[in-house]
Amino acid sequence: MRVLLIGDIVGKPGRQIVVRAMRGLIEAERLDLVIANAENTAGGAGLTCANYRELIAAGVDAITMGDHIYRQREINEVLEHESNIVKLANYPASAPGKDHMLVTARNGVTVAVFNLLGRVFMRPVDCPWEAADRVLAKLPPEVRVIFVDFHAEATSDMQLMGRYLDGRVTAVLGTHTHVATADEQILPGGTAFQCDVGMTGPYESILGRRIDRVLETTRTFNPTHFEVASGDVRISGTIVDVDPETGRATGVQRLVVNQEEADRLAASVKAAASAPTVL
Ligand SMILES: [Fe+2]
Ligand SMILES: [Fe+2]
């Protein structure tokens, strides 16, 4: 089976390319499950209820978040009640949301997904290693396919989490830096790993925000609004091939979808829908 994790969706450009391309992408890549990190979906900060519904309607099956999780307060309701979105598993028990989810892939296989936050250059949070152990201990034993989105800043932390969970989960894939790393691999125990799967949004930017604004504030300390940029929008993510019997990864591959490719994918779905049915 094939599972895609797409990296931090940034603002309207990120949402729009996901909505345009997702159905065609699911077909073209034969994806059984799509997980998306949506922590920057609402104007770059957090996720609104409407954004959540838009992504799910587009074909996203499961949503992970990050340090911006509670930037839109209205999402707390969704985090508490919906079964296809999680909070960070190393946030306090009292923080709104669930620490893992069990979702059914299109091939019928149950997939566990959870989200952890790193501790380097982040606000102090509980130990992500202990949180991973805690979540894994409570998963039903028959659930073999397990995806971890490790939302962290430091590549050393990411590598440590990969090694710590190697052989115990299907994939440890990173988000948060908004920059894809070229280190996708299958670790010796069968866990797919990559430090960061990259950003879904405008690449003519600084991590998705307008270059001039970020530069102005960084150079002069004069606060500006870090508006979401608009140019060169891409989906960035990673596809993992999985043996559902063992839960081990058998392949891992980076994915980039640019605007032209997204248009082609959208057109392929339209063409299929308008083709005459042959009985
Ligand atoms: Fe992000
Ligand atoms: Fe983040």
**Model pLDDT for residues 152-164, shown as the tens digit of each residue:** 999 999 999 999 9
* Token representation of residue 32: 């059984």
**pLDDT confidence of residue 232:** 97
Asked if residue 197 lies in contact with residue 141, where contact means CB atoms within 8 angstroms, the answer is: no
Asked if residue 230 lies in contact with residue 202, where contact means CB atoms within 8 angstroms, the answer is: yes
Share of the chain above pLDDT 90, in %: 96
**pLDDT confidence of residue 277:** 67
Share of the chain above pLDDT 70, in %: 99
Question: What pTM, to 2 d.p., does this model score?
Answer: 0.96
Q: How confident is the model at residue 278 (pLDDT cuts 50, 70, 90)?
A: low
For residue range 242-268, list pLDDT tens digits in order: 999 999 999 999 999 999 999 999 999
Residues, CB-to-ion distance under 5 Å, ligand 1: 8, 40
Of residues 195, 173, 196, 197, the one with CA closest to residue 249: 173
Tell me whether residue 151 is one of the annotated catalytic residues: no
Burial of 276 (0-12, 13-18, 19+ CB in 10 A): exposed
The Å distance, Cα 277 to ligand 2 centre, comes to: 45
For residue 228, the ligand closest to its alpha carbon is 1
**pLDDT confidence of residue 274:** 79
Q: How confident is the model at residue 112 (pLDDT cuts 50, 70, 90)?
A: very high
Asked if residue 147 lies in contact with residue 123, where contact means CB atoms within 8 angstroms, the answer is: no
171-180, 183-192, 265-274: lowest mean pLDDT where?
265-274
**pLDDT confidence of residue 220:** 97
Q: How confident is the model at residue 275 (pLDDT cuts 50, 70, 90)?
A: confident
Whole-angstrom Cα distance, residue 23 to residue 63?
17
Whole-angstrom Cα distance, residue 152 to residue 255?
20
For residue 121, the ligand closest to its alpha carbon is 2
Asked if residue 228 lies in contact with residue 201, where contact means CB atoms within 8 angstroms, the answer is: yes
**How far lies 52's CA from each of 72, 119, 134, 192, in Å?**
11, 27, 27, 27
Asked if residue 50 lies in contact with residue 74, where contact means CB atoms within 8 angstroms, the answer is: no
For residue range 232-241, list pLDDT tens digits in order: 999 999 999 9
The Å distance, Cα 113 to ligand 2 centre, comes to: 18
Mean pLDDT on 14-36: 97
The continuous run of DSSP H or E covering 60 comes out as: none
**pLDDT confidence of residue 219:** 97
